[in-house]
Amino acid sequence: MKSFFVSDLHGKTDSYTKLFNFIKNERPSLVLLGGDLLPHSYLHSSFIKDFLVKNLIELKSKMQNHYPKILLIFGNDDAKSEENDIINYASDGLWEYIHFKTVSINNLRISGYSFTPPSPFLLKDWEKYDVSRYVDLGCISPEEGKRTVEISSDEKKYSTIKKDLEILFGEADVSNDIILFHGPPHNSKLDRAALDGKFFDHIPLDVNVGSVAIRKFIETRQPKLTLHGHIHESARLTGSWKDRIGNTICFSAAHDGKELALIEFDTDNLSTAKRLLL
């Protein structure tokens, strides 16, 4: 199945326009959007309604039966207060929101998960502790920062990515599944941040900032393919937008250039995947 994957568009209308035009011309069956979709502010209703919905209605009208299945999640820079709009507009058949869900497309199981470990950024809607209540140097705890939707103090304090993944997947066999994450796995080619030579209280910062829980999940459960974003500069620093953990293939569509980074792949033949800068 011909598929496109993009992430971290951050409300950039020129990038979205490139994506929509490429979809129209190339006719993929599946398009996956890996979070950080909205502009850099907390209120995006006008962007969702006046840009995303408007343009996708137009695209669907032009493509008719060739309109792809679009699956999406939010990322750490997206306000949870806008989640209801994303869910409500999904009923129009423009996209399907799959955070903490598993769907089946042509007998292929695809799951989504938005949360990332604590970062130095203030918005905490989509951040939570990774495997424990440890927070990396220079980062802000999920119990602090700002939220657009309040949650209980117990959830802030005790919820972890590790526990979430156990709940989401249970004992299921995921060896033929695709999993759409926003955050990358720790200590991989996809989580390298530009933190070389930077210190916090005279202690050097870890340059690998991905999720330990996601890494452990991939190592032990071995899904077919995982998709990631979040760390824009990683591909530039490591020289690679893909990695392999055991039998699992991992792609990142995060990019720190002006171009739209788009990964095109065939779900039946991942070896032919390519990254395009549009």
pTM of the model: 0.96
Backbone angles phi, psi at 27, to 5 degrees: 55, 60
The reported pLDDT for the residue numbered 58 is 98
b/e for 73-106, b at 16 or more Cβ within 10 A? bbbbbbbbebbebbeebeeeebbbbbbeeeeebe
The reported pLDDT for the residue numbered 202 is 67
Place of tokens 């695809």: 110
- The string of pLDDT tens digits covering residues 76-102 is 999 999 999 999 999 889 999 999 999
Minimal CA–CA distance to 195: which of 146, 168, 233, 222? 233
State how many domains the chain has.
Answer: 1
The reported pLDDT for the residue numbered 198 is 76
The reported pLDDT for the residue numbered 205 is 77
The reported pLDDT for the residue numbered 188 is 98
Minimal CA–CA distance to 195: which of 93, 203, 39? 203
User: What residues make up the domain containing 65?
Assistant: 2-277
CATH assignment at residue 45: 3.60.21.10
Region 114-137: what's the mean pLDDT?
95
How is residue 127 written in tokens?
Answer: 């951040």
Burial class (CB in 10 A: 0-12, 13-18, 19+), 56: buried
Question: Bigger pLDDT: 4 or 41?
Answer: 4
Between the CA of residue 146 and those of 83, 121, 169, 180, what are the distances in Å? 16, 9, 29, 25
Minimal CA–CA distance to 130: which of 217, 209, 211? 211
Instruction: Tell me: pLDDT of 278 over 70.
Output: yes
Contact 209, 237 (CB under 8 A): no
- The string of pLDDT tens digits covering residues 126-148 is 999 999 998 987 899 999 999 99
